[in-house]
Structure 1
Amino acid sequence: MRAIWKGAVSFGLVSVPVKLYAATESHDVSFRQVHAKDGGRIKYQRVCSLDGEEVAYADIAKGYETEDGEMVILDEDDLAGLPSTSSREIAVEKFVPREQIDPMLFEKSYYLEPEKTGAKPYALLRQALEAADRMAVVTIALRQRTSIAVLRVRDDVIVLQTMMWPDEVRTPDFSVDVGEVKDAEVQMATMLVDTLAGDFDPAEFEDDYAGAVEALVKAKIDGGEVKRTPTTTKSSGEVVDLLAALQKSVAAAKEARGEDDGDASDSDSDSDSDSGKGKGKGKGAAKKSAKKSAKKKAS
């Protein structure tokens, strides 16, 4: 993992130098919009909705739309005057009981790792949180904006979880009124809850959609159902050495120009037979490639 922020946790007169790491990553599956005929990616132009003309990136400004639909243009000087902070301090405001924090407020999770000089005060803060069975409400500056967050302990590591501001949590605009609920119905529902009671184990759950997409893509790759374009830069996942990857690229470039790629194909065959391990590792490589691609697209 790569640290995305460095600073210090301060509580009282104690300062704990720490590094911040993203604790989660999305494995969401996303798709590109492409031309069905040749697999070319669909490009979008920046077009003004009023005059229909394409707008250069240098001419694009930030605008704030009011409730009545009017647009207020903000320039760089306006934005520079907004409150911002570059503080490297995670300031503990107070320690609160866990049950007072609604999980709906939680946003993103990060791991805190102590610097070498902060190992002892880090352990002190961790033990204090566990002994008190409380969370520390803190403020932290991320991306030049102050955020509210909490510190809690998970598997001997202090976790920082940023939170939504109170006014960002919506209030439901509907009411639930189903009339009278009979005692017998409540008793039966309670029995059902008891029957399905158990401990939570995240390993019992699996993203079957992502797995099905990976299997489908793998099957199409194995069946040769791949659209090659002049800008193709990735292999099918079957090539595991640099020489074979280069040969594949040459063959693809020749094919795009309508040239004969027989020589390159022969070289590919020789490379595959010589490596021996290419076929066996291809399946795993394809799966990893698909996962990495999904992560990048989701972000």
Structure 2
Amino acid sequence: MDVPTQAVWTGWITFGLVSLPVQLFPATRRHGVELDEVHAADGSPVQHRRVCQAEHREVDLREITKAYRTPDGHMVVLEEADLQALPLPSKHVIDVRGFVPVDGLDPIQFSRAYYAAPHGQAGQRPYALLVAALTWIERAAVAKVTLRTRERLAAVWPHRDILVVQTLLWPEEVREPGDLASTTSVTGQELELASLLMAQMSDVDLADLHDDSAAALEQLVAAKESGGRLPRPTEPEPAVDLPAALEESLRRAAGQGRTPG
């Protein structure tokens, strides 16, 4: 079992005059196969070099820092100590600004999740209170938090008796969809059949679903080395008769033993 062990942030959650010390731990981890970059002609590994444009030489990572480009193009060099001195109250405090229904949050804004754990004995009781209260009112707290020198909007809610701090995109970071929606309507029969099919397919356990990318990549590599050919996945075709396609889908779902959840 992969359990987070190293805190990435230490501070306080405050709501009203109640404060509780917490630590944040990453709730997710990267998963997948990493591919190396190579020269296409001979397969030799490619290196990325950091070159100073003024001195035309490669610089060590320890020589590199950040800079802010002003509107007139001037670069203001910022050391790590400068960034740590950013005058943001949310650097060490997750300041709750209000509470909203959990289902009122827009999933498009979800960014990254962290587990918040009580830090020290003083945080135990107020932490338990916040978990119980959020569970009772079925709401999430909305706050701001600074992670790695960048301030983020965040939602805080209970999950398995643990507070989850979910960073959110700022509203201005979310694009409007424009006119991407379908321009056609559906019939009552199509809607009824689609609803029945969804009910048949509602019994799904996410734990049974796995990432097949690694296995597919191994098949690809084996085929490349042996000179073999890979079967091409079949692509779906648009349903000409939508009600007929729905009825056939229902029959197949029933044949697989799926029952409405």
Shared topology, TM-score over 0.5? yes
Structure 2 match to 1:196: 201
Gaps of 5+ in 2: 224-261
Amino acid at match of 1:153: P
Distance of 1:61 and 1:160 partners within structure 2: 28
| Structure 1 contact 112–160 (Cα < 8 Å) conserved | yes
Distance of 2:185 and 2:23 partners within structure 1: 54
1:146 deviates by 2.1
Query: Judging changes above 3 Å, is the alpha-carbon distance between structure 1 residues 179 and 121 closer, same or farther for their aligned structure 2 residues?
Result: closer
Pick the structure with greater CA Rg. 1
More strand by share: 2
> Which of 5, 11, 15 is equivalent to 2:9?
5
Give 3-state SS (helix, strand or coil) of 1:109's partner.
strand
> Which of 124, 136, 141 is equivalent to 1:131?
136
> Which of 106, 111, 114 is equivalent to 2:110?
106
> Which of 178, 184, 187 is equivalent to 2:183?
178
Distance of 1:191 and 1:142 partners within structure 2: 45
Equivalenced residues, count: 213
| Structure 2 contact 65–78 (Cα < 8 Å) conserved | no
Give the TM-score, by structure 2 length: 0.68
Give the TM-score, by structure 1 length: 0.60
> Which of 33, 37, 40 is equivalent to 2:37?
33
Query: Judging changes above 3 Å, is the alpha-carbon distance between structure 1 residues 46 and 121 closer, same or farther for their aligned structure 2 residues?
Result: closer
1:42 aligns with 2:46: yes
Structure 2 match to 1:85: 88
Give the alignment's Cα RMSD to 1 decimal.
3.6
Distance of 1:181 and 1:8 partners within structure 2: 51
Deviates more, 1:159-168 or 1:1-10: 1-10
> Percent identity of the aligned residues?
35
More helix by share: 1
| Structure 1 contact 7–19 (Cα < 8 Å) conserved | yes
Distance of 2:154 and 2:183 partners within structure 1: 38
1:152 aligns with 2:153: no
Distance of 1:29 and 1:111 partners within structure 2: 25
1:171 deviates by 1.0
